[in-house]
Structure 1
Amino acid sequence: MSENGEEKLLAVARHIAKTLGHNNTMSDDIFQILSNFDGRFSRENLSEKGADVDPRGCAALDHSLKSLDRRISPYVSSDRTIWADAADSAAFLDAVDELVAVVAEWNHLASDKSVAACLVRAEDMLQHAMFRLEDEFRSLMERGGEAFDLTRSHRKGDSAGNLPFESDEDVDEEEEEARNVGIGGGDEEEQIPVALPVTDFDIVIDALPSGTINDLHEITKRMVAGGFGKECSHVYSSCRREFLEESVSRLGLQKLSIEEVHKMTWQDLEDEIEKWIKASNVALKILFPSERRLCDRVFFGFASAADFSFMEVCRGSAIQLLNFADAVAIGSRSPERLFRILDVFETLRDLFPEFEALFSDQFSVSLRNEAITIWKRLGEAIRGIFMELENLIRRDPAKIAVPGGGLHPITRYVMNYLRAACRSRQSLEQVFEDYGLKEYPKLDDRVPSSSSLSVQMDWIMELLESNLEAKSKIYKDPALCYIFLMNNGRYIVQKTKDSELGTLLGEDWIRKHAAKVRQFHVHYQRSSWNKLLGILKLDSNGSMPHINLAKSMKEKLKSFNTVFEEICKEQSSWFVFDEQLREEIRISLEKILLPAYVNFVARFQSVPELGKHADKYIKYGTEEIQARLNGLFQGSSGSTGSRK
């Protein structure tokens, strides 16, 4: 075929494609059919830049744009809300659809000057239409929120209910034992406006009416098709972000900087942590999922736009929650803060599956990473608190003795603290396993077979015992030194038994330290009562004259009475806090003292020179001895202390 003939053939093909192809999809199909029929009828050949544009086609384009302008301009310039009338909104959307289609249809012929001029007009019309759609989108969201009951919610798959902001009355009133020893919590003073208390979190909030959501979706489709998807997301995010931040604010959570958190009193910070825990649960289990659901409905079919919009809506509130947790994590490592920091650690850990599921898209990577980092930082803070507890035990001065050898405050504090801490055993094990073991002097034999937490607890107990041994040396009387060690050792064993602390330390540890207490008991008897028993010891020399024997026994009995009275007077002011231990000591004293005394008195009465006047010298009967022993270890005022 001649070159001229081929050109005519291509011109005919272009005319066919132009005439039949009213939209992009139809045009693509026609070009594909022609190309398959003859290789010369490819899209490149039929649409090449040098091809002539039919003037009648340009005229048709101009006519279409003028017609669309007449239909669109009244809506764009109108002061009345288009979506106030369903017919107006439908007509406006139809006109926008046609305008978008015209621009797409003629865009590939933009190299032609006349077509380009028409397209400039079309793009200008499209831009104004998009601006108006943006205004309508914003108006729908604002009016929809105002007209709709924002406290309306429903259980997933169930009927409507109330917005379930948690009530202050749901706070557990039980205080940790250790919190009563300088580690306390407080009740919130402010009553936050709330609806019904939360019983579970299987709830979503319908923040907009279903009809409004459908209208928003229709506008979204046009704005995305018109190249204004980002603008649509921006308007949506700004409106919903305000609603979400107001919802979080209603939960009582303030926007606080790290510096402001660190300047708060501990009581105020405890109150804020309590509010933070409630707000985090409601946000991650109710508010954020509801926003995710709304985003997915408005931006249905546009996954990337939905993800981006959701992240923009929730990022500020999510960062507010994370920043508060971070401020707590990098704050003071004072031991009394452990329990509240554990609360924050556990809350963040338990909510992380929800956090990860909600913020799983590409736009939220940094947010997920930040949540993990802050959670780990909380773990570091918990470990740091235990290090500070170790330092507190080491620094506790050994200059002042507890009157009567009673319980030392450091013993009560540490044991109640560890018992309370071990109620969060799972969390603590997670913390110490994640950060591995440090080197603990004298405990290397435990490391291979023990968890990191049990080794940590063992080490703290080792420090406490060393501290108590140093304190015991303040007492000048060795017997009182052992009473002090018995008291504190018995308390340690009792607090360890039947608790998570005992489970961590193990039965062998408990048996070993119970044996230590018994050994202290033996040392006490030897240091205090051996002298008295020595006095009662009878002379085995049978050749001693009776007159000398009588004199010796009178002196022994006199010495016994004096020493016994001195011991009883002194030790009646000493204190043994545990009634069972006190009884054990008395019984053991009776067992060693009464037989020796009875034997001595019998021998005394058998001496002829003494027997007739025995009552003159024997001051105590066995019942009086028992009575005096029963008066021991009652303690004077201020020496007993608390045994809790």
Structure 2
Amino acid sequence: MEKEKFPSFKNGGDGDTPNCCSNGKDPPAAEKNKSQEADKPEEKGGRAEAIPRIKYTMEKAWEDVQHFFLELEGDADSEIPESINQYLDLVEEKACKHELPEKSKGCPLPDLDDDGSFLKVGQQMSKLHKHVSKIFGLDSRQGHLMNRIGRIHQQVMCYLEDEFRALLEESRIVEPEVNQEPAADQCAEHGEGQDQAFRSNEVLSNFPGYSQEALDTLNKIAMEMISGGYEFECYEAYVMTRRNAIEEILNKLGFEKISIDDVQKMQWDALQREIPPWIKAFKACANVYLSEERKLAETVFSDDPSVAKTLFNSLTCVLFLRLLNFAEAVSLSKRSTDKLFKFLDIYETLRDHFSTIDNLFPEECAKELKEQLTTTRSRIGETAICIFRDLENLIQSDTGRTQVPGGAVHPLTRYTMSYLKYACEKYSDTLEQVFKDHSEIERADSTSQGNSQSNDDENQSPFSIHLTKIMDSLDSVLDTKSKLYKDVALSSIFMMNNGRYILQKIKASPEIRQEIGDNWYRKKSYELRNYHQSYKRETWMNLLGCLNLEGLNVNGKVVKPVLKERFKSFNAMFEEIHKTQSSWVVSDKQMQSELRVSISGVIIPAYRSFLGRFSGYLSPGRQTEKYIKFQPEDIETYIEELFDGNTASTGRKRT
């Protein structure tokens, strides 16, 4: 981060007077001696003769000083009255009484104005300094007086500066609960989101934590320091103290100052933990702290709105840029699909608080911040698009040849659909906006859509088009993986499992359904029915071939050897199907039930009819038991055991 700068304010104090001092310093010894000599009685004729001296109070001394100003009327040759030295002595004495002790946080400070006169003393010293400088500024004869007045004036101003800083540091702030979630019924009632509930949170009403009495005192001190020529010290004390206060608030929110270099060096696990505190801090600054900070500046410097505006800008612009720099650094981090949602969180935060810049900052400052915010938001959005596109690349790069046991849902399908479901349900509107605002990134790929598009591009948004591409890519990769199964029936089960899982996820998410469109959904459902038919054809149609009547009748008589062979073939094939397909997996219970009903509807009626027609041609007893191993009820029971992922044995007939 660049070194933070303060606005350049010219010090209106005496050019020979240093800008800093310590309160309560004793006057130089030479001046004390001269002051003491002034109190000694004059000597006449060798004898000391006491001259009566007026017992001055500060009020009396100041009245005489003002009277002297009226009589002087610019005459630099006038004799300096004793009342000025007496007044300066009394001011020094009062300043020493108000000397600040070493302060530590939580220790009470001495009252600024225990008798209601110290701020008045500051005003008087400023007036005295200006008058004397105007009249005697070029008169070397009054150099001693000028230096003394300048030193005491500085001493008073230094005390006011210390007290100004101490009052600013003594704010009492209840830690805001900015992460408090708004009640759902409140949001629905007011039609506003979390930010509105955030703004109206009563916990935040205590910021910036000053009582009205403290604000009045701060205003008076600021007015006096500025009129006394110590505006630079006043401004610097204000900006530094308030900046430290805001830093403390950000630390309470969990957001610490991190450089761009540090962000880029952080591992993602560590970096993503910094993003929620950043979001809290950004919302807090945009919704509460900065607006209240502006009110504070306008209150303390109410006599000069331009100064309040300049100080507010100096205080907050750097803070805002620092928050934006963090987001900028995150946008430059290495891309991966698991980062998308954090990027979208950042994008939404920047988008939702864009108008805050216009409301909080004047045009000249807002322009720079808006440009920076726009640039940062664009980079976050562009990175989000690239990450979303990376999901398609991730899918297409999955060339693993490991079969999923039992033809179950592939992990890639689960990951992709869970990813898309979460993205659409939580960030659908944001993704639509990001793709719309940055659709030029997609134009390079628009010609590659080809016939893979389910819907016409004219009816789809840029986000919908890319979402459909991802779904089609997943479908293509799954089709390739299905060919890893040598058993065509199992390949169909695999595609049915994955297709059903995809459709169920889409059905459960109206957001995905809306983006994908009905045509794509209907096309996928049609494909699923085709895989179902392919499975039945490869498995159960062959089994039905064993019940074929062809070749059983010769010259009107049943050929028993052929009949026996048909029963044996049926028994062997069914046992093998049951043994094999009991280990296959259909995880969706509804589809599992639909498959079993469909199989039973094909096999059981045909078997019952075949059995009823030809069982009588077999001799009762051992021959019947040897060739008729299953009753229709047994077949139905065994079919109910399919697709459970368990290996079953059909070595004997069940009873």
Bucket of the pairwise TM-score, normalised by the shorter protein: 0.7 to 0.9
Answer whether contact 1:433 1:451 (CA < 8 A) is retained: yes
Rounded to whole Å, the distance in 1 between the matches of 2:537 and 2:157 is: 94
Unaligned runs of 5+ in 2: 1-69, 100-111, 184-197, 648-655
Q: CA separation in 1, counterparts of 2:288 and 2:567?
A: 85
Counterpart of 2:76 (choices 62, 86, 89) is 62
Q: 1:64 and 1:418 mapped to 2: Cα distance?
A: 91
> What is the SS of the residue equivalent to 1:150?
coil
Structure 2 residue 482 is the aligned partner of structure 1 residue 472: yes
Task: Determine whether 1:571 maps to 2:594.
Answer: no
Find the counterpart in structure 1 of residue 164 from structure 2.
141
Task: Report the CA distance between 1:88 and its aligned residue.
Answer: 3.3
* Structure 1 partner of 2:507: 497
Alignment CA distance shift 1:66-1:377 (3 Å):
farther
User: Sequence identity, in percent?
Assistant: 33
In 2, distance between residues paired with 1:71 and 1:221? 27
Q: Show the counterpart of 1:318.
A: 320
Equivalent pair of 2:129/2:150 in contact (CA under 8 Å): no
Q: Distance in 1 between matches of 2:438 and 2:492?
A: 39
Q: Is the Cα–Cα contact under 8 Å of residues 478 and 527 in structure 1 kept in the other structure? A: yes
CA shift at 1:361, angstroms? 4.3
2:176 corresponds in structure 1 to 164
Q: Which residue of 1 aligns with 2:432?
A: 429
CA offsets 1:506-544 (integer angstroms, 9 cap, x no match)? 233222212211111011111222221222221178654
Match of 2:292 among 290, 293, 309: 290
CA distance, structure 2, for counterparts of residue 480 and residue 171 of structure 1: 50
Question: Cα deviation per residue 1:417-459 (whole Å; 9 max; x = unaligned)?
Answer: 1111112212111111111144252328432111222222111
Query: Is 1:331 matched up with 2:333?
Result: yes
Q: 1:224 Cα shift?
A: 5.1
The structural deviation recorded for 1:259 is 3.4
Query: How many Å separate the matches in 2 of 1:65 and 1:569?
Result: 125
Matched residues, number: 537
Contact 2:506/2:513, CA 8 A, preserved across alignment: yes
Q: Which residues of 2 match residues 531-570 of structure 1 at below 5 A?
A: 531-539=542-550, 543-544=554-555, 546=557, 549-570=559-580
Q: CA–CA distance in 2 between the matches of 1:474 and 1:65?
A: 113
Spell out the pairing of 1:175-324 with structure 2 (5 A cutoff): 199=201, 203-221=205-223, 229-230=231-232, 232-324=234-326
Check conservation: 1:134, 1:235, Cα contact below 8 A: no
**1:150 pairs with one of 163, 168, 172:** 172
- 2:47 — aligned with what? none
Q: Secondary structure at the match of 2:399?
A: coil
Amino acid at match of 2:502: I
In the other structure, the counterpart of 1:596 is: 606
Q: Which amino acid aligns with 2:427?
A: S
After superposition, residues 369-384 of structure 1 pair within 5 angstroms as 369-384=371-386
SS of alignment partner, residue 528 of structure 1: helix
Task: Say if 1:444 and 1:486 are closer, same or farther in 2 by CA, change over 3 A.
Answer: closer
User: Given residue 530 of structure 2, which amino acid in structure 1 is its aligned partner?
Assistant: Q
CA–CA separation in structure 2 for the residues paired with 1:521 and 1:130: 97
Match of 1:400 in 2: 402
Question: Quick check: 251-260 or 408-417, which moved more?
Answer: 251-260
Q: Is the 8 A contact 1:72 1:95 kept in 2?
A: no
- Give the CA RMSD over aligned residues: 3.9
Q: Amino acid of the residue matched to residue 515 of structure 2?
A: L
Equivalent pair of 1:307/1:361 in contact (CA under 8 Å): no
1:523 aligned partner? 534
The equivalent of 2:123 in structure 1 is 93
Q: Secondary structure at the match of 2:546?
A: helix
Letter in 2 for 1:424: Y
SS in 2 for 1:62: coil
Q: Which residues in structure 2 correspond to 1:612-627 (within 5 Å)?
A: 614-627=624-637
- The one of 500, 520, 528 equivalent to 1:509 is 520
8 Å Cα contact 2:340-2:384 kept in structure 1: yes
SS of corresponding position for 2:76: helix
Asked if 1 retains the 8 angstrom alpha-carbon contact of 2:119 and 2:221, the reply is no
Distance verdict in 2 for CA 1:73–1:505, change over 3 Å: farther
1:129-156 C-alpha deviation (Å, 9 max, x unpaired)? 985676345313322145x4522xxxxx
The answer to whether residue 481 in structure 2 is matched with residue 481 in structure 1 is no
Aligned partners of 1:493 and 1:510 also within 8 Å: yes
> 1:492-517: per-residue Cα shift (whole Å, max 9, x none)?
00000131212221233222212211
* Change in 2 beyond 3 A, CA 1:577/1:541: closer
Looking at structure 1, the residues matched to 454 and 626 of structure 2 have their Cα atoms a distance apart, in angstroms, of 64
1:543-572 per-position Cα deviation (integer Å, ceiling 9, x unaligned) = 54636x322222222111111111111111
Q: Distance in 2 between matches of 1:65 and 1:427?
A: 80
What is the one-letter code of the residue matched to 1:479? Answer: A
TM-score of the aligned structures, taking structure 1 as reference length = 0.73
What are the superposed Cα offsets for residues 153-182 of structure 1, whole Å, 9 maximum, x if unpaired? Answer: xxxxxxxxx442447x8699xxxxxxxxxx
- TM-superposed deviation, 1:609: 8.2
Equivalent residue, structure 2, for 1:31 = none
State the 1:227 CA deviation. Answer: 6.8
Distance 1:134 1:207, change over 3 A: farther
Gaps of 5+ in 1: 1-55, 107-113, 152-161, 173-195, 638-644
Cα–Cα, structure 1 residues 521 and 240, in superposed 2: closer, same or farther, change >3 Å?
Answer: same
**2:345 corresponds to:** 343
1:569 partner letter: K
**How far off is 1:298 after superposition?**
1.7
